[in-house]
Amino acid sequence: MAVGLSDSLPVLHPVAGIRLAVASAGIRSGKIGRNDLVLIELAGGAACAAVFTRNAFCAAPVVVARRHLEHSPLYLLINSGNANAGTGAAGLAAAEHSCAAVAKLAGCRAEQVLPFSTGVIGEPLPVERIASALPALNASLAADGWPQAARAIMTTDTVPKAVSRQLEIEGCLVTITGIAKGSGMIHPNMATMLSYVATDAAIDRVLLQQMLQRAVDQSFNCITVDGDTSTNDACVLMATGVSAVRVSKGGHAAAEFQAALDAVMCELAQMVIRDGEGATKFMTIAVTGGRDEAECRRVADTVALSPLVKTAFFASDPNWGRILAAVGRAGVVDMDLQRVVIHLGDVCIVRDGGRAASYTEAQGAAVMKQQEITVSIDLGRGQARAQVWTCDFSYDYVKINAEYRS
């Protein structure tokens, strides 16, 4: 079960200018019954920003969506159960065909449709099943479709992930609502696995892209489950402009909106880690005292990605030497070991180059039994800081991934 999450979704406020619908297209092995197709409609004039995976073997829908992003998107088409990755020219044709099918039905250009896929890599996308489901999908578009969409994009996720916030800017109510999916193959190098966030504020596309990148860098780019960057990662931010709030660069409204967007993205990113495949612990790796942010991030990543550290957390074993070893191999040049201080929760485990004199095994064991744990590492050489969120490795992680295609 996901750490600190439940299957129940919070209240998800509709975003004026956005409608969503879901359908069962039987995309995975022709199985009918589970919703696996989502259509999102944007109001005319909406702005759309996105970031995508940097994996060289990026999926066909990523290639197409990058290209179509320049053409004022009006629709997003998302399928689960099939990644349409590693499918070559046929995969690109399938993604384009799916966009054309939506465009024909909606009366827009194919270039105004962004395709997204998630699921098994290397399998042909069953375009005919998607096309057959589109008429009913288009007919059922509704402003309150966020909860259903959050569930339809799930793959190995155990719970849906969604966040919704309303704030007042310049006397007007602004809504931000978003969903995400992700559980394994999580080590984003741009965004998250799949995430769609919308607001009714008016923001031009250039500023929207800048705001999205900043929010992503502080959230989805700070999470890891297993160190594997997906072929299909994508994060989309939509601004319909239906509300009376106009957000301009450098203005007070921009600062307020950015803070709210950062919070929404951060919560969604942490949900992904809390629902990491087989996760039983949620860990924050917080590194301070670095010369620059880059070296702090290297240390945080090295600890968060260590299988030995992650399995120790699963076993609730206070084997602090694994954390020490990970810090030591993180590539920090000229690190003064006497200055490094490491805490497990509020318990100091390393000081003055070795185990802290005050540390006891009982203290460490008590912290390790908790579901949410912070590892704090002070390098003692500067003012920079960075943090990463991760989870443990359990028996279920191996089982889920060993049986993924079963």
Question: Which amino acids are annotated catalytic?
Answer: 192
CA distance linking residue 231 with residue 250, whole number of Å? 35
Four-residue CA torsion sign, 275, 279, 280, 283: negative
CA distance linking residue 50 with residue 190, whole number of Å? 10
CA distance linking residue 220 with residue 191, whole number of Å? 5
Four-residue CA torsion sign, 342, 348, 354, 355: negative
Torsion, CA 295, CA 296, CA 301, CA 303, rounded to 10? 110
Cα angle 334, 339, 344; round to 5: 115
CA distance linking residue 26 with residue 88, whole number of Å? 23
- The encoded tokens of residue 85 equal 């990755």
Q: Coil, helix or strand for 366?
A: helix
CA distance linking residue 225 with residue 279, whole number of Å? 9
CA distance linking residue 383 with residue 280, whole number of Å? 33
Which among 79, 91, 80, 86 has a CA at the least distance from the CA of 122? 86
Polymer length in residues for the chain:
406
CA distance linking residue 329 with residue 120, whole number of Å? 34
- The encoded tokens of residue 253 equal 């409204």
Four-residue CA torsion sign, 49, 53, 58, 60: negative
Which among 100, 64, 99, 61 has a CA at the least distance from the CA of 82? 61
CA distance linking residue 284 with residue 301, whole number of Å? 11
Kindly report the number of other CB atoms within 10 A of residue 270's CB atom. Answer: 22
